[in-house]
Structure formats: C-alpha cells, structure tokens
Amino acid sequence: MIHADFSSLVTGLILALTAATLIAGGLRRWGVPEGTSILVETLFTRINTWWAMVVLLSLAAFFGRGGVVVLFAILSFAALREFLTLTAKRRADHWVLMFSFFVALPLQYIFVAAGWIGLMTIFIPVYAFLFLPVLAVLRGDTSGFLTRVAETQWGLMLCIFAASHAPALLWLEIPDYSHKAILLIAWLTIVVQAADVAHFVAPRIMGRHRIAPAVPHSRTWEGLVGAVLIGTALGTLLWWITPFNTWQAMLMSATVSLVGYGGGMVMGAIKRDKGVRDWGHLIPGQGGFIDRLDSVVFSAPVLFHLVRFFWAAG
Amino acid sequence: MIKSAAAVIVGHAITLFIRLVTAPRAIWAGTEPVPRQRVYFANHTSNADFVLIWAVLPGFLRRNTRPVAASDYWLKNRLRAFAGRDVFKAVLINRDPEARAEDEDPVARMIAALDAGASLILFPEGKRNLTDTPLLEFKSGLYHLARKRPDVDLVPTWIDNLNSVLPKGEVVPVPLICTVTFGPPVHIARGEDKASFLGRAHDALEALAKGGEG
C-alpha cells in the first residue's frame, strides 16, 4: 500500500506544511499580532487542518485500502450528522434517520470495501431513494412530507454516496497505477484544498465582484478565477503522482477545481437558507466537517467517473 | 463502596455515550461556567434531557449538580433506581400530591438539597413537552425556590434537538448534534407575585430558543 511515490509525496507535504506553519507563526509573532488579521488567522487554522489531513490519510494508508474506507466512513458519518441536524424532520422520521445512519451508511462502505463498484454506484440513487419515502410514509405523518424526504435524500446523496467515491478510487483498475491509487485521493484533496484557500485569499488581493447577489459575499469572480488557477497549477505540477500526463492533469485539475468551487457555493447556499454560519463546531475555528469537505464531496464522483471512463481497464 | 465506584463508572460511560451520539455543545450566552450555586431550569422534551445538561457541564460543576426527577419513573425498577439515586444523585420528587407522605414535600426536598450545597437541574414544565408549542406553562416549584432561596442563580437552559435524537416511544437514539444554551440568570424581585415571576422566567427561557445558533 505504502508506495515510494506516496512516501515522497508525504515527505514533501510535511516539508511544505512545516514551512507554512513557520511562516504563519512568524507573521503572527512579528508581522500581524494575533487576532488582528482575518487572513492570517484563517490561514493558521487551515494549516492546522491540513496537518490533520496529512496525518489521517497517512495513517489510513498504513492500514491499506480498508483503512482508507474506514477513514471516509467516519468522515461520512460526521458530515451526515451535521447535515441531518439541519434538515426538516418530524417525530415520524425516526425510522428514516435510523435507516440513514445505521443501514445506508455502513452498507455503502461495505460495498466499496468489497469492490462492488456497480452496486455502490446505484445503491443510494436507486434502492435507498425508493425505499426511504416508503419507510417515511409507513409512520403515517404526511405534513411536509416531500420536504422531509427530499432533504434527507440530499443528505444521503452528498454525505454518503458522493463522499464514498473518494475511497472507491482505490478499486479502479488503472494499468500500471492501481497499486498506488491512494495518490489519486491525495491529489484530489490537495487540488481542492488549494483551490479552496485560493478562493479565500484571491478576493482579498484582487478585489471582489460577486457572482450572484444572494449567494454568500465570499463567492466572487476573483475567488473563482483564483481557485481554478491555483488548483490547476498545483494539480498540473503534481502530474507525476497521477495516471495522467501533463496536459491531462491540467484538464482534470481544472475540472475538479471548478466542480469543487460549485460544491462550496451550493453548500453555502444551504447554510444561508437554514440560517447558520457553519455546519458544526467540531473543527476548532472552522465550523464543521462539511465546511471543509464540501468541495471534495462534489468533485470526488466526477473524478471517479472520468478516470473510470478514460483510464480504467475493463 | 463497590456500588459508588460502579456509579462513578456508569456516570462516565453515560456521559461519554451521549457525547459520541450528539456531539453536544454548550453555549454560554450571558452567564459563565463558574462554581456558583445555581438552579438550571430547562425545557423538557426527552428523558435524556438532564443527562445532556450534565454532559456539557465542566466536571467540577457536574459533580455538584443534581437533577430533580420524578420518583414514579426513577424508582420503577432496581436498574432505574440505581441510575437515578446513585449515578445521577437525583432529588426524587413524588408528582402525585394525593399519595405524598408527610416528608415528601417537593419544595422542601429541593431546599434541603440546595442547603446541602448542591446545584439543581429543574424542569419547571413538570412533564415532557410533546406538543408543537416550544414551551409549556411553568409549575410553581421554581417560584417557591426563588422566594425561599433568593440568592441562588436561576439559569435558563435551553436544550435544542434532543427530542429528535430520541423521540418519545423510540428506543434507538440517532446521532444528531445537540446544543445547550445557558442564558443570563433570573432572580425574583422584592414582593414579585407568582404569576409575574413565572411569566418572566418562562420568557427568559423561550428567548434562548429563538436565539438559536446566533
């Protein structure tokens, strides 16, 4: 599982993060005093989260494909809990919630771990989709029925289905690459995280023109351009850890950055609709798991299917 | 000896379990977690309500905080009696005035617990609220406490979402995030009558519900 390329990537990441931590610490100490610059403070908390990501992914990789599946199952669980906390529900939805947490989530990850890619890609969109409203209607409470069912299904699709495509990348049979497919998960995470932080930094340097009036003010054209540029640049530079050549890596990272950006906007719109600032409080200083994973969740299925179609054998 | 050790272990286990399931967050809005004698009065939607308050209180406050609970529920069998009396050290109240013995006056029991130095968790609605209104009318117990021990802080405590975690009649809890909001303490004014004080306390608690995430 631990491939030489993975080790050198992790070493590189640790060096980069150490440098980033030192620079941010130095800025805080001598340049901008603690708590005065939102830019520095945000970067500081981001860097801490990246450390956690590197440690978690390396640990998971150490335990092989199973470790990665367990890691993403836990992340799915945390994200689903945040999502379903905010969705519309009534007392009659208890069975539906039990089904989501205790049946749909474990089954989906069991299918991934067993490598049943066909079943994994239809279980939630077909079977859970049709079964869940039946379970809801059995309890006999029809007020707000469609809203309740639809919002729960959204949670299942995003937090379980879409998220599970990241570990599923490990089961694609890519010629000369399958044994180091964990690098593809690392690549996806790096590209999306870089795009994410560029979206935050770019408007503060280049000014801001909002994309749409009602979406959160942090979503600007400058942010979009910055996110796609930085995501694409980094994704292309890292072509050597992917099954792609340089121009393919460029196209793929541009796609992933764009889709991820769209995901961040969508999740922001849901937060605004529900009247909350963050999805949760479990990651200190940055809200919940969904706040950090929204763009990964959106881009993982797209990456999975593009790679499956163009690169995977059989 | 063995029983009290078991009670401490079970107490930690229950707190850990509820933390894992509900990832609860305490929001101290207008009051601080400091060791003062307090009566936390909260909305009541689930049997696990006081466990959640207990779980979000810092350890040094939790050890000295006792829930006020119904004896007909907590003495029903030996397991519940162990949980109620030994683990949570509940102040048990007989809810049925007809069947009350001489020494079972609820207010007197709560006052005795306060005078022994404990803080209390009290559900002034008197029973679980299963209606769509956010908060039922308060019973008079809170008023009697406020009048007899006017120095004790009465802290409004709003529990959010626990009724979705474990609705009445369900056995298996689902993991959803809960919050507990502690508001600014309420005190009785000199000569304030029962209706006006209970109304004020009721409004203070309801205001926390509307504040929500804030």
Same domain, A35 and A88: no
Token pair in block for residue A254: 């541009």
Q: Does position B211 have pLDDT exceeding 70, yes or no?
A: no
Same domain, A128 and A184: no
* A280 to B23: CB separation less than 8 angstroms, yes or no: yes
Same domain, A251 and A189: yes
- Among A171, A196, A231, where does a domain finish? A171
Q: Which residue of chain A comes nearest to B27, CA vs CA?
A: A281
Closest CA–CA distance from residue B81 to any residue of chain A (Å): 28
Is A77 touching B (CB cutoff 8 A)?
yes
Same domain, A213 and A269: yes
Q: Can you give the pLDDT at residue A228?
A: 93
Same domain, A291 and A192: yes
Is A212 touching B (CB cutoff 8 A)?
no
pLDDT band for position B212 (cuts 50, 70, 90): very low
CA-to-CA separations, B162 to A55, A76, A83, A151, in angstroms, rounded: 33, 21, 16, 20
- Among A62, A79, A111, where does a domain finish? A62
Among A73, A125, A82, A127, CA closest to A102: A73
- Among A171, A199, A214, where does a domain finish? A171
Indicate the number of domains in chain A.
3
Same domain, A38 and A119: no
Same domain, A148 and A255: no
Assign domain B2-211 to its CATH architecture. Answer: 3-Layer(aba) Sandwich (3.40)
Q: Can you give the pLDDT at residue A152?
A: 95
Q: Where are the domains of chain B?
A: 2-211
β-pairing, B119-122 vs B38-42, is parallel
Residue A126 or B25, more confident: A126
- Structural domain range at position A36: 1-62
Nearest to B174 among A82, A98, A275 (CB): A98
Least confident of B68-77, B94-103, B153-162, B180-189: B94-103
Query: Which segments in chain A show pLDDT lower than 70?
Result: 1-3, 32-36, 213-217, 282-286, 314
Same domain, A183 and A165: no
Q: Which residue has the tokens 């205790």?
A: A102
Closest CA–CA distance from residue A263 to any residue of chain B (Å): 23
Nearest to A280 among B161, B172, B177 (CB): B177
Phi-psi region at B137: left, alpha or beta (left = phi > 0; alpha = psi -120 to 50): beta
Q: State how far the Cα of B14 lies from the Cα of B198, in Å rounded to an integer.
A: 33
Same domain, A165 and A183: no
Region B55-74: mean pLDDT is 86
Same domain, A242 and A142: no
By the 10 Å C-beta count (0-12 exposed, 13-18 middle, 19+ buried), B38 is classed as buried
Q: Can you give the pLDDT at residue B213?
A: 42
Q: Can you give the pLDDT at residue A91?
A: 82
Same domain, A3 and A55: yes
- Taken as a whole, chain B contains a residue count of 214
* A97 to B174: CB separation less than 8 angstroms, yes or no: yes
Looking at this protein, which amino acid is placed at residue A81? R
Same domain, A22 and A120: no
Closest CA–CA distance from residue A20 to any residue of chain B (Å): 31
